[in-house]
A and B are shown apart, each in its own frame.
Chain A
């Protein structure tokens, strides 16, 4: 069963959302509703399900409702209609007391502008979730130090947040979210406020942490590269509607509509697509009857741009192997060119004209 289920959620901002709801369900667009009733549609029939241990990236431009969506999962915002369940419990039915318990033990959150407490030191910030849970000081500090260690901030634990740089502040935010050891982490544009170098650093750190901890992460971003890099599944939001949900490859290779297509147009595919995704199974390769040429061995998890220059220079085929060296499949120039051009449809139309 999915860890987080969001079903048919509508969110309308305004004075009397429930009156406007039928209109939205009837299919009126965001602009029509704003013009006629003065209400803003935040989310329009959004359903997602996030599996245990995966990173679900929710992507969209500003105003697409992605931050609204993530706040529904821990009910910082209540939906106008719809169902939200986490680990099988219906979040909508929780009363105030249970909701607080739920937030304390089930999920933690990382914020775009860090949301750190300026009057608390780093160690107090990291231990905040535990403080709220009622843990005593020595235990709090012990766990907090572990987490500060794991994000690489030792030595800074007695500084105040405004004494740290942006990247370091967000690491404090990350450590704070890790400290409560919840299964689910919500990350609201966590790296968007950081400059590109630090951002990719943080992404790497998150990937490493995730490989170790296997948390269920809902990640919000407006950056496609980031979402392709981090996401196991990606949901694309446009004007409060979920346009497409799929794996990164689905999004790039089969964009559901023009909006998504425009989004993925400029992506550097070779940096996103992994060898194992486009490889042919060994049998297929043999049956294709391709004559044996030079062979390059490549790990299944490496991205195309890591071996592409080699292939072009030596005119070789690629043998894809896993960590222990077993052959998993092959890649020929045909697969490479197919993966690197705009989309499958594009490839087909082009091949017809030849």
Chain B
């Protein structure tokens, strides 16, 4: 029995594989199939070109499943839609309603304290913010729309991504289950979920937020997981040796030490959100992205470039704020400071 145990798993896989082929054969249209099943073994011409009956039917069940989802859980998606849309609209209306110098002042205030009172970063971010409106007055409100979408998408990413990353670092089974999902999310073309997003949530900001989530959450999960696993083993051992429970080790040691990596993940998340929000303009999301699209549609290169620069400026603002906050955490835990040998 011991001897055959290692053949067990491959055997199961083989059965599943054969099952797939049988399903494919049975679902193929009769005109594609040979008249008799046994003909396959007499006439080997099907070995030349890929035979039409060797076709796994994935499309029909996916369509059916999608329809079923819309019919039965429409209310659920409607709820999500209303919630996110409400959040987005109130946030946007509030920021658009504020006088623009006040918005710049708020950005300066946030940057100043996030970067640990660094003047150069603050001045640079202030200039970038000013130039958003200075490039073209139209851009100001559109940048605020884009910012709101990015912020909500990021919030969603953080709320879901960081706990998942932590769970992944602590449990190998969760890790094994999540990794292929993350791979899928990162490789699948974005239009594959943008268009179904429209079907589920309608046109506008909400499918963009969902798309941002799908596109930007994998790096955050991965970096959180990596950060927690990279924490020095001896430090964790030390906390265990003093009788820390798992919870105490996680909150007291692992998360604080993984924070630079998690911040890096949030930074990545922001950048990818901005990239996605531009693509999302193609499904009718309003924001600075549709200026690029408009420029391209009219073959107005200058306009497209101008809007492109606005996006870059927006990216710089986001990057500086998150990056400098991450650096500040990192300074304490990793960088060597000047050693003070004054005493001893």
A residues near B (Cβ < 8 Å) are 74, 76, 100-105, 107-109, 111-119, 128-129, 131-133, 152-153, 155-156, 159-160, 162-165, 168, 176, 180, 186
Query: Are B257 and A115 in contact, CB atoms less than 8 angstroms apart?
Result: no
Per a CB cutoff under 8 Å, which of B243, B340, B341, B342 touches A129? B243
Asked if residues A119 and B242 are in contact (CB atoms below 8 Å), the reply is no
Contact between B240 and A103 (Cβ–Cβ < 8 Å)?
A: yes
Contact B241 A132 (CB under 8 A): no
Number of A-B contacts (CB under 8 A): 88
Which listed residue, B235, B241, B335, touches A103 by the CB 8 Å rule? B241
A165 contacts across to B, CB distance below 8 A: 339, 341
List of A residues within 8 angstroms of B332 by Cβ: 118-119, 160
Chosen A-B contacts, 25 in total, with CB atoms closer than 8 Å, are: A76-B237, A103-B243, A104-B243, A108-B241, A111-B238, A113-B232, A115-B234, A116-B238, A117-B257, A118-B332, A118-B334, A119-B332, A128-B239, A129-B243, A131-B252, A132-B239, A132-B242, A132-B243, A155-B342, A155-B343, A160-B332, A163-B340, A165-B341, A168-B344, A186-B241
A239 to chain B, nearest CB (A): 24
B 226-247 contacts with A by CB, 8 A: 232, 234-235, 237-245
Is B284's CB within 8 Å of the partner chain A? Answer: no
Taking A160-B332, A165-B341 as given, write out 13 further A-B residue pairs in contact, using a Cβ cutoff of 8 Å, ordered by the A residue number. A76-B237, A103-B242, A109-B242, A117-B235, A117-B257, A118-B257, A118-B333, A119-B332, A128-B239, A129-B242, A132-B248, A156-B343, A162-B336
Contacts of A118 in B (CB 8 A): 235, 257, 332-334
A114 and B256 alpha carbons, distance in the complex (Å): 18
Nearest opposing residue in chain B for A154, CB measure: B343
Question: What A residues does B21 contact at CB under 8 A?
Answer: none
Contacts of A176 in B (CB 8 A): 242
With the chains together, A105 CA to B245 CA distance in Å?
14
**Docked CA distance A100–B241 (Å):** 9
A111 to B334 CA separation, bound complex (whole angstroms): 19
Choose from B240, B248, B256 the contact partner of A119 (Cβ within 8 Å).
B256
How many angstroms between the C-alpha atoms of A118 and B331 in the bound complex? 11
Q: Which residue of B lies closest to A105 (CB)?
A: B243
Residues of the B chain whose Cβ atoms lie less than 8 Å from the Cβ of A74:
241
In the A-B complex, the 6 residue pairs with the closest CB atoms: A104-B243, A115-B238, A103-B243, A109-B241, A129-B242, A115-B234
B197-254 with Cβ < 8 A to chain A: 232, 234-235, 237-245, 248, 252-253
Chain B residues within 8 Å of A132, by CB: 239, 242-244, 248
In Å, the complex CA distance between A132 and B242 comes to: 7
Q: Is B243 touching A133 in the complex (CB atoms < 8 A)?
A: yes
Q: Give the shortest distance, in Å, between A147 (CB) and chain B (any CB).
A: 14
Q: Note all chain A residues with C-beta closer than 8 A to B253.
A: 117
Name the interface residues of B59-106: CB closer than 8 Å to any CB of A: none
Q: Roughly how many angstroms separate A250 CA and B252 CA in the complex, as a whole number?
A: 46
Q: Which residues of B contact A (CB under 8 A)?
A: 232, 234-235, 237-245, 248, 252-253, 256-257, 332-344
**Contact A115 B237, beta carbon cutoff 8 Å:** yes
Report the minimum CB–CB distance from B59 to chain A (whole Å): 43
Interchain nearest-CB distance for B254 vs A (Å): 11
Among residues of A, the one whose C-beta sits closest to the C-beta of B249 is: A132
B341 CB to nearest A CB, Å: 8
CB closest residue in chain B, given A125 = B238
B343 and chain A: residue at smallest CB distance? A155
Would you call B243 and A163 a contact (CB within 8 A)?
no
> Which B residues are in CB contact (< 8 Å) with A111?
234, 237-238
Alpha-carbon distance between A277 and B156 when the two chains are bound, in angstroms: 73
Q: How far is the CA of A119 from the CA of B242 in the complex (A)?
A: 17
CB distance from B326 to the nearest CB of A (A): 14
A102 contacts which chain B residues (CB < 8 A)? 243
**Cα distance A117–B231 when bound, in Å?**
10
Min CB distance B152 to A, Å, is 31
Q: For residue B248, which residue of chain A has the nearest CB?
A: A132
| Residue of A76, A117, A155, A176 contacting most chain B CB atoms (<10 Å) | A117
| Cβ 8 A contact of A100, one of B245, B336, B340, B342 | B245
Q: How far is the CB of B239 from chain A (nearest CB, A)?
A: 7
Q: Kindly report which residue of chain B lies nearest to residue A97, judged by CB atoms.
A: B245
- Assess the A101–B241 pair: CB atoms within 8 A: no
Rounded to whole angstroms, the CA-CA distance of A66 and B242 in the bound complex is 20
Chain A neighbourhood of B256, CB < 8 A: 119
- A163 and B337 form a contact (CB under 8 A): yes
Task: A160 to B256: give the CA distance in the assembly, Å.
Answer: 14
**Nearest CB of chain B from residue A228's CB, rounded to whole Å:** 27
User: Bound state CA distance, A111 and B241, in angstroms?
Assistant: 10
Known A-B contacts A112-B234, A119-B256; the reply to A76 vs B336 at CB < 8 A is no
A107 — nearest CB in chain B belongs to which residue? B241
Contacts of A109 in B (CB 8 A): 238, 241-242
With both chains docked as a complex, state the minimum distance between the C-beta of B230 and any C-beta of chain A, in angstroms. 13
Give Cα A247 to B173, complex, Å. Answer: 49
In the complex, are the beta carbons of B337 and A113 less than 8 A apart?
no
- Tell me the minimal C-beta distance from B309 to chain A in angstroms: 39
Q: Are A116 and B235 in contact (CB under 8 A)?
A: yes
Taking the nearest CB of chain B, how far is it from the CB of A325, in angstroms? 38
Q: Closest approach, in angstroms, between the C-beta of A101 and any C-beta of chain B?
A: 7
A155: chain B residues at CB < 8 Å are: 342-344
**Complex contacts, B237 vs chain A, CB 8 Å:** 76, 111, 115
B336 contacts across to A, CB distance below 8 A: 162-163
